[in-house]
Amino acid sequence: DVKVTQSSRYLVKRTGEKVFLECVQDMDHENMFWYRQDPGLGLRLIYFSYDVKMKEKGDIPEGYSVSREKKERFSLILESASTNQTSMYLCASSKLASGSRETQYFGPGTRLLVL
């Protein structure tokens, strides 16, 4: 079974802090994704990566950056956390494929509260 793990289930940070969210997958997937999930808004893509050191902006990249130094690890960085970044953060991975038919496998999520 594909396993996607995230470094924390719950996190409390203060406004202005730098926050790192880590995601690791064990299935040698090329693609990795970071989403945030908010009530009534569904899943919104922040950033994704289809290869080591490659990254592309999703729909809501403002206030976030990412790092992918190794294939299995994709980090989301909040340079200066703000209260409007309080949310559930979900990491996902998938195989690289033509035709966009690969399913995504999600981690358990990190619920971040910024005070």
Binding of other proteins at residue 22 (CB under 8 A)? no
Please compute, for residue 37, the number of CA atoms within 13 A of its CA located in the half-sphere on the CB side.
14
Cα separation, 57 vs 26, whole angstroms: 24
Q: What is the residue whose two structure tokens read 């999600």?
A: 106
Residue 110 in contact with other proteins, rule: CB under 8 A: no
Q: Closest Cα to residue 81, out of 36, 19, 12, 21?
A: 19
Q: Is 79 in the site for other proteins (CB under 8 A)?
A: no
**Among positions 3, 59, 70, 80, the unique one binding other proteins when judged by CB under 8 A:** 59
Residue 97 makes contact with other proteins by CB under 8 A = yes
- Residue 96 within binding range of other proteins, rule CB under 8 A: yes
Q: Is residue 73 helix, strand or coil?
A: strand
Separation CA 19–CA 34 (nearest Å) = 14
The only residue of 66, 109, 112, 114 in contact with other proteins, by rule CB under 8 A = 109
Nearer to other proteins, 58 or 63 (CB): 58
Binding-site ranges for other proteins (CB under 8 A): 31, 33, 35, 40-45, 48, 50, 56, 58-59, 90, 92, 94, 96-97, 99-109
